[in-house]
Amino acid sequence: MPHPFGTRSRDELRQIAGQCVDEIAQLLCESGPGDAAAARQSAPAAPRAVLVEAPGDFDEINKLYLKRRWGDGLPIAPPTQEAVQRMLRHTRRAPDEVVATIAPGFGAATVEYIAINAVMAGCYPEYLPVLIAAAEAVATPKFHLQAIQATTNPAAVWLIVNGPVAKRLEVNSSSNCLGQGAWANATLGRALRLTLQNIGRALPGEMDRATQGQPGKYTFCCAENEDASPWEPLHVERGCADDASTVTVVGALGTWSMNMTAAAAEEVLAMIADTMQYPASSDYVYGGAPFILLSPQHANLFHAAGWSKAEVKRRLWEQSKLRAGRAHGSEFGRTATGRRAELGEVGPDTMVPISEKPEDISIIVAGGPGSHSVFVPVSAHTRSVTREVMFS
């Protein structure tokens, strides 16, 4: 369906849909079931990467990658055979093993292909197990990668690293953890983006239909500051062992800074809840699963008030309810339709929660000293997924 279609009339949409149906019918009629079965049998399940002869000059190599749309617009590290082999030594999985199938192009993400993109992003070889776990996570049905890769939303995949591996790889969880300066943060996030683009074929302007996109589509990665948190970390909350190493993938739409110097827990929480409310949020239209990245200062303020993480979520869920009438005209109609099955008939005075239940709000503690926390709205059609990092 060609974009944009949100402003088209019903008659225009009917005509476009009819053309699509005709094209699908033609494709179905051109080959029978036997042809499809033969094609499946003859095609290799996981083809190995092919060698490409490239110029020795660094600038010329990058021009080649830019021309073939294999990069992200930043300089790449050439994935030579030697560099890829060094990466592959950090897993016992076979190079041609398919880790996941990456939407929307449904390319096979083999261990080798993931390693190639990791080299291009500048990753150290010991990062590979984290990226394999991330590829597994984004491909789960719950994450709904198709909705992130092909949307007009500015969705970027945010990696959150927990457990011993975060310290071992020096993934920044403290000051400026979402910014520049940490090799692991920068290259891990970038490697996943290159994997999504090169294996999933989500090329900007083609399958990736983001209207504007966001800088987080270059790289978006941090660790949780577990040492500064008064609560159990994200991976333990989700059923993993305390000493497990995990990666969580989140379909983030951006970051909203919340500077709150109040000394009362109730005042800080009220400001977070107010920030979460905005009529253009798809979370309120469909019922989402947003993230709150609390500074250690704010997390410990809530803890000092006697609040558990679950209690903070409950209070935020209650106080962030949005009056449906703040959305006007057809946008109000979208909300009324999107939440009807859950809330019943929605009127202008209906108070709409940001998610179906308080537990759908996720909270992590990250960052250094200061009175700043971050609200991360999430694409409403996706749910974050946590996977354990396996080192064998």
Peptide bond between residue 104 and the one before it cis (omega within 30 degrees of 0) = yes
- What Rg do the C-alpha atoms of the chain give, in angstroms? 23
Backbone torsions φ then ψ of 261, nearest 5 degrees: -100, 5
**Nearest CA to 207 among 195, 217, 196?**
196
SS3 content of the chain, % helix, strand, coil (to 5): 45, 15, 45
Give the span between the Cα atoms of 121 and 189, in whole angstroms: 9
Q: E strand or H helix at 84, and its extent?
A: helix 81-88
Give the pair of three-digit tokens for residue 235: 């991976």
Contacts of 329-337 with CB under 8 Å at 24 or more apart are 331/279, 334/285, 335/284, 335/285
Question: Which of 29-33, 173-177, 231-235 is predicted least confidently?
Answer: 29-33
Strand ranges in 227-337 using DSSP code E only, listed in sequence order = 246-252, 256-259, 291-294, 322-323
Which positions ≥6 away from 33 have C-beta within 8 Å? none
| Three-state DSSP state, 287 | coil
Spatial neighbors of 28 by CB under 8 A, at least 6 apart, are none
Q: Is the pLDDT of residue 285 over 80?
A: yes
pLDDT at 163: 98
The torsion angle over the Cα atoms of residues 331, 213, 161 and 226, rounded to 10 degrees, is -60
**Residue predicted with more confidence, 27 or 219:** 219
Q: Where does the pLDDT of residue 7 fall: very low under 50, low under 70, confident under 90, or very high at 90 and above?
A: confident
**According to the model, what pLDDT value does residue 32 have?**
58
* Closest-CA residue to 290 (of 316, 327, 329): 316
pLDDT tens sequence across 108-157: 999 999 999 999 999 999 999 999 999 999 999 999 999 999 999 999 99
Model confidence over 243-255: pLDDT tens digits?
A: 999 999 999 999 9
pLDDT band of residue 22 (cuts 50, 70, 90) is confident
Which amino acid is it at 78?
Answer: P
SS3 of residue 365 by DSSP: strand
Residue 39 has pLDDT above 60, yes or no: no
pTM recorded for the entire structure:
0.90
d(CA 194, CA 114): 9
Q: How confident is the model at residue 1 (pLDDT cuts 50, 70, 90)?
A: low
Asked if the model's pLDDT at residue 232 lies above 60, the reply is yes
- pLDDT (tens digit, 9 = 90+) per residue, 353-387? 999 999 999 999 999 999 999 999 998 889 999 99
Percent of the chain predicted with pLDDT > 70: 95
pLDDT number for residue 38 = 44
Residue 343 has pLDDT above 80, yes or no: yes
Pick from 265, 177, 279: which is nearest to 221 by CA?
177
